[in-house]
Structure 1
């Protein structure tokens, strides 16, 4: 980072702090994630307090030691030796300086500064609402999620056993976005329906419309079921609770049923959230002809908990995913208000997936031809194909992908499928 960039970083933080302190209509979601970290904001609870820019925080977060020395010749900054804090002395003059010295691009990513710029000049080209919509929400952060978990455990430490059964991810930790996935028209319409339901919770409650938000994803492996479940965390701004099936099942009598109860208890207390159960058939196998009493009790416990949870009442979105829907207990089927199929991609979809995967790769390969030759490949297969092709090129000291690289990727998938089909007995 150059010295000029460091100064812009520092001035941005000083301006943002002053705007936030002077205008009480702004909230923590008008601050950038870096600003929140520098100001030490870890919660949205309690009274809104003024923020400060301490040198120690600047060094910890930005890696800039002795920040006041970087700004000692800047006419609009003041260093308070008592407390080792920095602040801006004039907001309007500070904004003018910031814009003249390359700060416009930063304002496009900073809601507080975008709002202040519009206040100073209503014709300012940057729209505050658009900047705020793009800014990561504080509620999506790991810091906020950890705070909620700590509070939950403080009220009932017994819930710790339930936390051991799941992996919790905050929206900011999830890499998948809805733009990374090729969704069908039907899948996109279900997502829109969920967003509308969340925006009108009280209306739906008043009409006693509760059967919304229990989704069953069905389809072959690699067709995007898990990817879409995780992408929804960022669309709906909810953490995702992924059930660890290996931890749920127990050899001890009744313990599996208790584990299922614990998982749903945690989901209700951490709402709004997504409860995601992959390989759902493992827990909800058909009870017909099953002599295993413990498994029957586990399925009964699962069905009971599904009945007691609701997106409308509890703000918990339940997603079950399975590659083997035929194994599900009939009663489990009836618990889901939406069954969403994930099919192997057809020819146009395969071509679309390949083009997206190869967007940043240098290649003159006929992608339409590759799509024709990969019938039966899942989205995950195509991703693995492209990965193998890139590794093949890099191994040969190239960055441009050739037809031979693509063929190697195709062979990898086909050979893997042959191995999977072999009978070793």
Structure 2
């Protein structure tokens, strides 16, 4: 079976759909193109006039007041030529060659007459207004109307081709080629999918037939199982009846034994109730005694707590008095502490002053000692100098005498 991936299926979007490329130009600029379009317009106008010609021929007398005399005369002559042509075409007595010649001549006369009428209608200025008022006969003029519509469509196609540039035409051809290729690819894909669907249907039919066979087999199996189940139910019922009969016999003996045990248990229960009632009386007495003791203890506790509360209040009052006294002492201590700190500061300042004076005295004594030592040294040196000067003079005099 051929698998077609979903990715190979083209997504049909707006861009993939066929579209027409609108020409970039809106007005014809080439003279030849204008002439071609003018020829088509002239043909369309002539076809419109030709489509109205049968109506003009039928009502030529009614329109004689609106049309000119020459136009009316040409219409009547054209009608006669048409009748003559039809009579020649329907005549079968003449020779075929002569008939063909006469038919060709008559057709030539009809064509010339038609051209003359067209020329006269174009030359007459009032004919346009008259032709606009005439309603075309749609039943007898269907062929000319189709030709006119075809010419109009041809004019639109030719106009579009004339307005289309070579580049736009190339792009249009390219687009049409892409559309054709896409169509062929889609067609191949459709054929492949149809083959897959057919093969899938075959496989589905085969699966259905297989399932039908399985269903038949299951039905047969269920039928056989139903028969076996019925036999099993019958055997089970028989076994159950036998078991119930034996159980009934056994249950009778058990019931007698259980009744005897129940009577013994009732006796034990009555004895236990009597014993429990006596025990309950004793417990009630003990409970009353304990409740009385608890109540006495509570009263004693309340009395002791009252005394303790009184003592606590007295101690609280004394504590408050002590606290007030402590506050006063703290205030006095703060004052004394401030005075003490001032005294200590004064003492420290005095101590520092004494130390400063002591340091200055020591410095002065050291300076005096140094000065005295220096002065003594100076005096000694000076005395030595004074004592040394006379000795030097005596020695000099002696040398000179020698």
* Bin for the TM-score computed over the shorter chain: under 0.3
- Structure with more helix by fraction: 2
- Structure with more strand by fraction: 1
TM norm structure 2:
0.16
TM norm structure 1:
0.15
Q: Which structure has the bigger radius of gyration?
A: 2
Q: Indicate the structure whose relative CO is greater, using CA pairs within 8 Å and at least 6 residues apart.
A: 2
